[in-house]
Amino acid sequence: MKIGELARETGVSPRLLRYYEEQGLLTSYRVGGGHRRYTDDAPVVVGHIRALLAAGLPTSVIREVLPCVEGPGPELEHCAAPTLREQLRGLDDKISTLQNARSALAALLTTTARAADARSTAR
């Protein structure tokens, strides 16, 4: 399958397909003239990549768990569980940090509003 065909079938630009290849997520082989060709399962692999990206995984992690992907779903074998748990812990930590920052910002706004009210009442 040529890169243009793969792009049309998956809705992913050729440039992005080349990026996936550079990142070690997608493989191709070269034919005469140096043109890329992809295997028949490449659309499924691109679908897996897109699903894993949608889950917030960086390409380095996708490269690690992609061998654990099965089916069109994608479904992940147990070998991906430790990596996915680590990613989930990282997201939980980021969420906690953002919640703390939000609380601090809301407190600053409340304090600012009270100070502004006090100044306007004093006038």
pLDDT value at position 110? 94
pLDDT value at position 62? 96
pLDDT value at position 26? 96
CB 18 within 8 A of CB 54: no
pLDDT value at position 115? 85
**Six token digits for residue 68:** 């654990």
pLDDT value at position 71? 77
pLDDT value at position 104? 97
In whole angstroms, what is the distance from residue 108 CA to residue 110 CA?
5
Cα radius of gyration (the chain): 23
Within 1-123, where are the H helices? 3-10, 14-22, 42-54, 59-65, 81-122
In whole angstroms, what is the distance from residue 71 CA to residue 13 CA?
23
Q: What is the mean pLDDT of each run of 10 residues along the chain (123 residues)?
A: 96 97 95 91 95 94 92 81 93 97 96 86 79
